[in-house]
Amino acid sequence: MTSGPILRLDDVSVRYEGTLAVDGVQLEVERGDVLAVLGPSGCGKSTLLRAIAGLEPISAGRITFDGEDLAGRPTHRRGFALMFQDGQLFGHLSVARNVGYALRLRRLGRAAVNARVSELLELVGLSGFEDRMPATLSGGERQRVALARALAVDPRLLLLDEPLSALDASLRQSLAADLRDILHTAGTTALMVTHDHDEAFAVAGRIAVMFDGSVVQQGPIAQVWASPEAPRTASFLGYARVLTGASARLVAEAAGLRAGGQLALRRSALRVAETGVLEGVVEQVTSTPEQLRLVVDVPGAGRLDAVARLDERLVVGESVHLSVDATRVAQMSV
């Protein structure tokens, strides 16, 4: 077993109908890590995934796995498993036969296949679903089956294409946590692409942010979160506003940070507090089940998002003090 990154992409480009869908991408994934490639739709992340799977020929660069160049190795000989947004279960096969598909391809005995299938179904929380047909399953159950099917042969690398995007919000959250645990338990090396930063944060340990075919930033999730490289990255990572110049300086000082550069604020970075240094006038109040969301006009910094406890009973036009939570802002060098 070699140390160092197990999957390596060196300057990989994919030309698709004359345009560069993937443009000189440099990526590394360590053994047992989960990397999320995060980007808006059309940024080339799915093409990148398909190129790694061997479904899309690359026009330049090199993809190596465990030191071996993958060029010319067809999809079915790469030992990777691919899981799609909508599962793509084989509709005419039962859950057990879907999950055991790859095992049967490897000519495992019936008993061994059955044992492994029930083990996997237990792993994804679907024990007893063996004889169900895909059409009778809910969206979440289908994705679990698709995951079990992908994990069946202990893939050297699991590729996940927006695995949770087709599900509704609450299901997405619980399945994201499960997915993380399952991948961790199985020790699977995985690469997933998604446009949803929550999904990325919930499942992955590292992220790579991709725009227009290029990876603009990558690293451990906390690090990328804490210092996005540019405003567009910040807003894609869920930051509500990016401040520049004087307003950035004002808020940075209030947070006790060294002033300088741009400042990205999460929606909850400013909180109504008696002791707050900043002061402003409430312009807009929206109730959510957890807190009040405000837009506050702060002289010298402009209109900023803020939150308040539900029992604060604020009204528009009221003057409030705001404190800044330094963990919910990110500084970006200019």
Partner 1 sequence: MNRRLLGLAALAAGPVVVLGLFFVLPVTGMVSRGFFVDGQFAPGAVWEVLTRPRVARVLAFTVGSATAGTVLSLLLGLPAAYVLSRLELPGRRVVRALLLVPFVLPTIVVGVAFRQLLGEGGPLGFLGWEQTPVAIVLGLAFFNASVVIRTVGAAWESLDPRPGEAAAALGATPVQVLRTVTWPALRSSVVSSASVVFLFCATAFGIVLTLGGLRHATVETEIYLLTTNLYDLPAAAALSVLQLVVVVVLLAVTARFRTTSAAVQRRPFVPRRPARHDAPALLATALLLLYVAAPLVTLVSGSLRVGGEWSLGNYRALTTTGEYASLPVPVTEALATSLRTAVDATWMAVGVGLLLAVVVTRRSRSTAERRLRSGLDGLFMLPLGVSAVTLGFGLLVTLDSGVLDLRNSPLLVPIAQALVALPLVVRTLVPVLAGIDDRQRQAAASLGAGAWRTLLTVDVPVVWKPLLAACGFAFAVSLGEFGATAFLAREGAPTLPVVIFRLLGLPGAMNYGMALAASVVLAVTTAAVMLVVERLRVPSMGAL
E strands along 86-184, which residues?
A: 157-161
Tokens linked to 119? 């083990």
Q: CA distances (Å), 164 to each of 92, 146, 192, in order?
A: 23, 11, 10
As a whole number of angstroms, the distance between CA 133 and CA 142 comes to 10
Q: How far is the CB of 87 from partner 1 (least distance, A)?
A: 9
Give residues in contact with partner 1 (CB under 8 A): 17-18, 50, 53-57, 74-82, 84, 88, 90, 92, 101-102, 105-106, 149-150, 152-153, 159
Q: How far is the CB of 110 from partner 1 (least distance, A)?
A: 18
SS3 per residue for 64-80: EECCEECCCCCHHHCCE
Q: Sign of dihedral through CA atoms 93, 151, 193, 175?
A: positive
Measured in whole angstroms, how far is the alpha carbon of residue 268 from the centre of its chain?
21
Minimum CB distance to partner 1 smaller for 83 or for 294: 83
As a whole number of angstroms, the distance between CA 62 and CA 65 comes to 10
Q: How far is the CB of 13 from partner 1 (least distance, A)?
A: 14
Minimum CB distance to partner 1 smaller for 188 or for 323: 188
Minimum CB distance to partner 1 smaller for 66 or for 101: 101
One-letter amino acid of 207: I
Q: How far is the CB of 94 from partner 1 (least distance, A)?
A: 13
Minimum CB distance to partner 1 smaller for 48 or for 82: 82
Q: How far is the CB of 333 from partner 1 (least distance, A)?
A: 41
Minimum CB distance to partner 1 smaller for 82 or for 120: 82
